[in-house]
Structure 1
Amino acid sequence: MIRYALVCDREHEFEGWFGASADFDDQQAGGLIECPVCASKAVRKAIMAPAVAGTKRRAQEPSPAQTQAQTQSMMMEAMGRIRRHVEENFDDVGDAFATEARAIHEGRSEDRGIYGQATAGEVRELIDDGVPVAPMPPEPPKKSQLN
């Protein structure tokens, strides 16, 4: 099997697999190859780097545990950035969150971003009434608390 990077006349990129190099030419001449995005039959091979086996040792794929740890680290970093953004740009209304969120939703208070605390029951009532709310990401653990 041979894989080609392909591109249509509208610059949609995709790939195709062929039994041999001549198969691409035969199928293209017969109008059998088309872009999966726009169905254009004006398809050509795109430039691609060949897969060449070398003598350099390839880096080993990360283990599932390493991949999970990397993903978890990235997620914690992203949640920390979101939390910092909210804390720096929104008003902290403390335990008056449910009351203030409802007042903003009903137009009785200035429309602005807020954060604070609410009970599970208050959050359910806000959601049931169509008031948009979302939980704050947790505070990232301190480096001294990590393994």
Structure 2
Amino acid sequence: MSLKVFDLQCERDHVFEGWFSSAESYDSQRAGGLLSCPVCNSTAISKKLSAPRLNVSHIRAADTAPTAAPAQPGAAPVAAPALARMAKLQAEILRQMREMIRNTENVGVRFAEEARRMHEGEADERPIRGTATPAEREALANEGIAVMPIPEFLDDDRLQ
């Protein structure tokens, strides 16, 4: 499956990445209020303009040796991992995230109720997942209960 990666921004100017199975999936999730900012939980999300990633590795200049730019005052050395290494790193992160999600209890539509019970000490703390409406997510956040949406492509239960 080919994923679409969009740069998203909330009304408070927090920028984050969203991964979708298609542009239509982004549109339907946004229209359904399923997208929220991972920083502030705002559901007022928009796509930022972004340039497409072009594969131009086949275009090589005659002189491929990089020229060193003069150091800027206060500049620190930085590195960019090779694309293959970055792809392996991203794949490993996704694998670990999926594994973490698989090791949660799916409480379904009782998510908000169960998260509240755990927060209040009425139920044992454990990793849970489920579904919650935007209003339920907002109420939980207002009560100091941290929740985070699971992107559809990471939740094996949604893909079946």
TM-score by length of 1: 0.42
Higher relative contact order structure (alpha carbons within 8 Å, sequence separation ≥ 6): 2
Which structure's CA Rg is the greater one?
Answer: 1
What TM-score do the two structures reach when normalised by structure 2? 0.39
